[in-house]
Amino acid sequence: MTLSRTTFVQRPRGTHVMNANIKAAPPSTIWTPRSISLAMLVVSMVAVTVCMGQGGGALRNLFGPGSVVLREAYESTSSGPSFDHSNFDALLKKHVDADGWVDYEGFNKDAASLDAYIDSLAAAPFVDLDRDEKLAFLINAYNAFTLRLILDHYPIKSIKDIPKAKRWDAKRWHIGKQTLSLNQIEHEQIRPKFAEPRIHFALVCAAIGCPPLRNEAYRADQIDKQLEAQTRYVHTHDRWLRHERNGKVVRLSKLYDWYGSDFKQVAGSVLEFAARYAPSLKAAMTNGKPPRIAWLDYDWTLNDIKNKR
């Protein structure tokens, strides 16, 4: 929420009022800068209270995603079950191009196959999966659910055209025995249980401003390699990062603004994390000239192949 700044002009003592018939307002109705600031504080506190009463989703909608402490909650083992994502992999290869643009019309014709994959997620032994299996599973699940959400309302121009109650906070997606919303998958099942900020470049919200959807499913035995390739791809395209060598400003995706705490916990700062994948930025910081950060506009237009630029 952006508040405009109001300028208050104080009338010098002894200045006469032009119209003598106009009575001065009682002291109790005079709004001073201090009283306005107090009123704004009260309104903000009420808004936070209301949001807390409505659950975390309302608070996130008002202030953006909340911060979490990144930690590794699961062990990596060589034993335990694995989950087969080959059906989803085949759909992605068929309907997503190399740059992440989605053929939603084609996907719609294969909706039954997508639904079969989604049904398999509900029957999965999620609790028994190891760390890498869980991470690949959750990323694929999030992306598959998002595709299904778009197809439920297609054709649309943006995921934001979907009613808010049916979007990120709708508890309709089944993982094992749990029924979760997309926000719960991201902010409760992934972020606080994996010390892995690269997931922000893998979870796709069906918008052009999002990182591209890979045209392959994530796999436990390839998850680190896939996340690294995905993150590197994002940082070498000016839709998400723009910086000229010796430039005084680096323009970053809003993902770095929304999830800044995640990147700071791993790399120390947003710039330090981005510099891992941007040589010109790394050089500037090595030379003791870190640039100022500006945020790129986030394009919520649907990542439909019809909108490919």
Whether 116 has a pLDDT exceeding 70, the answer reads yes
Q: Where are the alpha helices (DSSP H) in the chain?
A: 33-54, 56-63, 86-95, 104-109, 111-122, 131-153, 182-184, 223-235, 255-258, 260-267, 270-275, 279-286
> Which one, of 226, 178, 179, lies nearest residue 199 by Cα?
226
240 three-state secondary structure: coil
**Sign of the alpha-carbon dihedral angle for 63, 199, 100, 155:** negative
> Which one, of 141, 143, 136, lies nearest residue 76 by Cα?
136
Summarize pLDDT for 216-227 with one digit per residue, the tens: 999 999 999 999
Higher pLDDT, 93 or 309: 93
Residue 33 structure tokens: 């800068």
Where does 166-245 show beta strands of DSSP type E? Answer: 173-175, 178-180, 241-242
Task: Indicate the pLDDT class of residue 59, thresholds 50, 70 and 90.
Answer: very low
Task: Indicate the pLDDT class of residue 64, thresholds 50, 70 and 90.
Answer: low
- Sequence ranges of the domains in the chain: 87-223, 241-295
> Are 115 and 144 contacting, i.e. CB atoms less than 8 angstroms apart?
no
Whether 131 has a pLDDT exceeding 70, the answer reads yes
How many angstroms separate the CA atoms of 68 and 115, rounded? Answer: 32
Whether 102 has a pLDDT exceeding 80, the answer reads yes
How many angstroms separate the CA atoms of 80 and 131, rounded? Answer: 10
Radius of gyration of the chain from its Cα atoms, rounded to whole angstroms: 24
* pLDDT value at residue 266: 97
Q: What is the DSSP letter of 96?
A: B
Q: What is the mean predicted confidence (pLDDT) over 142-168?
A: 98
Please, what is the average pLDDT of the chain? 85
Among 29-33, 130-134, 206-210, where is mean pLDDT lowest?
29-33
**Sign of the alpha-carbon dihedral angle for 75, 129, 60, 302:** positive
> Are 132 and 225 contacting, i.e. CB atoms less than 8 angstroms apart?
no
* pLDDT value at residue 78: 79
